Amino acid sequence: MNTTALGDTLSQLDRELTELTGPSAPNLTGTSLRALFTGTTQLLSTLREHLAGTEDPRLALELASAGQALADEAARMRVTAADRLAATNAHTLHPDELDALRTTGADTSRDAQRCTGRPSFLDPAALLASWLHLPYTEAATLIQDASDLIGRRNPAGQSVPPRFTHLGALFTTPDPTRTPVLHPSLVQETSRKLAKREPKDLTFEGTGTEPTLRHTDGRAVEEHAADVLRGAQSVKEAEKHVTKLISSAATTPGTATKASVRRGLYALPVRNALSREFLLRVSTLEGEVLDSLIAQANNPRTRVGQAVRTNPGAPAPSHDEAEASGTTEPTSGEQNGTDEDEDAASAVDPSILEPAVPEATTEPNTASSGFPDFLPEGVGNEARWDPEETETIATVPERALNALLDILTTTTTTTTAGGGARIRPEVIVHLKLENLQDLAAGDARTAHGVHLPPGELRRLLCQAEIIPAVFNSKSELLDYGRAQRIVPVKLKRAVLARDGGCIVPGCTEPPEKVEFHHIDPWWKGGETKLGNLGALCRGAHMDADAGRIQVVLVDGLPHVILPKHVDPEQQPRRNTYWD
C-alpha cells in the first residue's frame, strides 16, 4: 500500500468510525462493513511491514502490545460471531446467498434468501466450520462459548442470559484500566473447564439449565472463578487457582461426578503406526508423586536428570563430554560471581548430585542405544533396530516418560543408564499445627500445591519418608534449622514449606529448581537462618544479586520489589501462585 492509498484508507476509516460512534449511528450495510474490514486489515498489514525492520525496541514493544490487543479483540469477535450465527439460524441460508457472499458484501437492503426445505448445513457449527475451514469440533466449541458467555435462546427464540453470567461479563466488557490485562482467551478456557463439569444445557429444548457446581459457601463456582480471574497476577496463577477451585468442588461428596474421581490407565485409539497413546488418571496424592518425578527428570544438574535427557537406553554424557559439547549449565556461583552455588535447591538425595558417568559395556553386538541386539556375528546394520541412528535430545514430555519407564522396567539387579541412581519421587506435606492435632478433620497441601483431604493426609502420614512441615497458629514455620553458610537440607525444606516456590510474582518454576538467597548477604554478616533466606528461581536469584530486584522482609516473610518499569508503584509483593 503506497502513501496515497494509505491516506485514503485512513480518511475512510475516520469517516466510518465517526458515523459508528455518533449519536445517531446508522446500521452498517454489507458493503460498508466489508470495506471497513478490508481497509483495517490493509492498514494493520502496512504497519506491521513498516515496523518489521525497526531498530527501536520501544516500537517493537508497541507492536507487541498492538498485536496482543488485536488478538484479544479477535477472540471476542469470533465468539460474538458464533452467537449471531446461532441466533439468526445462519445455517439455513440458501447456497446462492453463500456463493454471492464469498465475492461481494451482503446486500442488506433485502431479506436474506433461505432454504425452503432442508437447510444448507446441519447446524450453525457446521456452517462456521465450512466457512472458516475449521475442524467441526472447534466450531462447535465456539458456539458453546457463545451460549455460555454471551447469551442463549429459549424454545420461543427469545434471548436469555448466558449460563455463566459472571464470566460472561468479564469476557464481553473488558476493563481497560486493569493491570495486567485479562485476556479473553483465559475466560474462555475457564468457561470450557466449567462446562465439562456441568450437565448439558437444555435451555433451547425448554428445560432451564443453570450452573449446578457450587462452592462450599453456596455460591456458584463460576462466580468464584470470575473473582479469581479479576485478582490474578499472571496467567499461570489464574489457571492454577481456577483448576484447583473447580476440581475441589467437583470432587466434593454430593456434587462429585464419576468421571472426576475414576482412576485408571486407558488405551486410546491407535492413530499412528509408530506410537501409542494412553490416558492416565490418578488420585491427587498419586499425581503429586508424578509431579515430583517430572520435576526431578527436568533437573539437568543431577545424574538422573541427565540420564533421561537422551533416548531410552542411551548412555548419558559424562561431565567432560558435556563440558566439551557446551551442554552443561553453570552453577549459580559461576553465573553471579558469588560463593552461594551451594544454595541451589534439590529435593533429591545429595548422593545423586554427581555428574553422570556411563559405565563401559562389554556385551557383544550392542547397538548404539546401549541394549544388546542378540544378532549373530557378521550381520549388517540393516538388520538392527537403530542402525547408525544419531542420538536425539529428549523433550520435556519424553524426559518424564523416560523416568517413568526407568522405574517400571529397571529391576533391583540392574542399573540405570549411565550407572546413576534412580529418581526417588519425594512428597513434602505442608500442614498447620491445629490440623496435625485434629487429623480427623484437618487437611494439608503438598509442595506442588495439591490439596490433600483428611483421609489422604492420615494415610500419607502413616507411610515412610514423609516429611511434615508444621506451622503454628500464625502460619509461621517452627524453626528447625541452624545458622551456617551452606543451607542444610532441613532448612531448605523449611524455606520451601514457607514460600512454596520462587517468591517473584508470576513465577511457576517447580520447587525442585529453586535456589536460596541470603536477604542480608552472607559476606556482609548475614546468617543462614530461616528469617534471612528467600526462595528464588535461578533467573530471579541472578536478578537479586545484580540489584535488578530487591528482596525485603515484611512481617517476617520475604517479599520482592520488582523493577520500576514492571511495577511503577514499587510495592513489596509476594508470589501467590503457591498459596
- pLDDT tens for each residue of the chain, 579 residues long: 566 766 776 676 677 666 666 666 556 677 777 777 777 888 888 888 888 999 999 999 999 999 999 999 999 999 999 999 999 999 999 999 999 988 888 888 889 999 988 898 989 999 999 999 999 999 999 999 999 999 998 888 888 999 999 999 999 988 888 878 899 999 999 999 998 888 788 888 777 778 888 888 888 899 999 999 998 888 888 999 999 898 888 877 666 655 455 567 777 887 876 677 888 877 777 777 788 888 877 877 767 677 777 655 444 444 444 444 444 443 333 333 333 333 333 333 333 333 333 344 444 444 444 445 555 566 555 555 444 444 556 777 777 777 777 777 665 544 444 445 566 666 677 766 666 656 556 667 776 666 776 666 666 665 534 455 555 544 544 443 334 667 888 788 888 888 889 999 888 888 888 899 988 887 777 888 888 899 999 889 988 888 889 999 998 899 999 888 778 889 999 998 877
**530 in Cβ contact with 519 (< 8 Å):** no
Q: Is there a contact between 521 and 343 (Cβ–Cβ < 8 Å)?
A: no
Q: Which single residue is written with the C-alpha cell 536425539? A: 392
Phi, psi of 471 (to 5 degrees): -105, 155
Q: Which helix (H) or strand (E) holds 152?
A: strand 152-153
> How far is Cα 110 from Cα 324, in angstroms, rounded to an integer?
75
- Angstrom distances, CA of residue 81 to CA of 21, 69, 146, 466: 20, 18, 8, 54
- Measured CA to CA in angstroms, residue 317 lies from 361, 370, 393, 397, 404 at distances of 15, 13, 11, 20, 20
In DSSP terms, which residues pair with 159 in a beta bridge?
153
431 Cβ partners below 8 Å, 6+ apart? 442, 443, 444, 445, 457, 468, 469, 470, 471
pLDDT of residue 83: 95
The answer to whether the CB of 118 falls within 8 A of the CB of 91 is: no
Please, how many CA atoms are within 13 Å of residue 303, restricted to the half-sphere of its CB? 23
Rounded-to-integer distance, Cα 469 and Cα 479, Å: 10
Report whether 291 contacts 447 (CB < 8 A): no
Q: CA–CA separation, 153 vs 205, rounded Å?
A: 9
- Residue type at 566 in one-letter notation: V
pLDDT (0 to 100) of residue 283: 72
Please give the pLDDT value at position 177.
80
pLDDT digits (tens, 9 = 90+) for 502-558: 999 888 888 888 899 988 887 777 888 888 899 999 889 988 888 889 999 998 899
Single-letter amino acid, residue 222:
E
Q: What is the DSSP string of 476-487?
A: PBPP-----SSP
Domain ranges of the chain: 1-17+34-48, 62-260, 276-358+393-419, 431-579
- CA–chain centroid gap for 326, Å, is 30
Residue with cell 469440533: 137
Report how far residue 202's alpha carbon sits from residue 58's, in angstroms, rounded to the nearest whole number. Answer: 51
Q: What is the pTM of this model?
A: 0.57
- Lookup result for grid cell 492413530: 271
Q: What is the pLDDT of residue 374?
A: 52
| Cβ neighbour number for residue 306 with a 10 Å cutoff | 24
CA atoms within 13 A on the CB side of 127: 24
Amino acid letter, 318: S
Reduced to 3 states (helix: H, G, I; strand: E, B; else coil), residue 389 is coil
pLDDT of residue 456: 66
CA distances from 482 to 488, 489, 528, 530 (A): 8, 11, 7, 9
At residue 504's C-alpha, the angle toward residues 498 and 505, to 5°, is 100
User: Residue 203: which of 171, 161, 150 has the closest Cα?
Assistant: 161
Element containing residue 267 per DSSP (H, E): strand 264-267
Least Cα distance to 496 among 481, 516, 478, 476 occurs for 516
Q: Which helix (H) or strand (E) holds 178?
A: none
* Total number of residues shown for the chain: 579
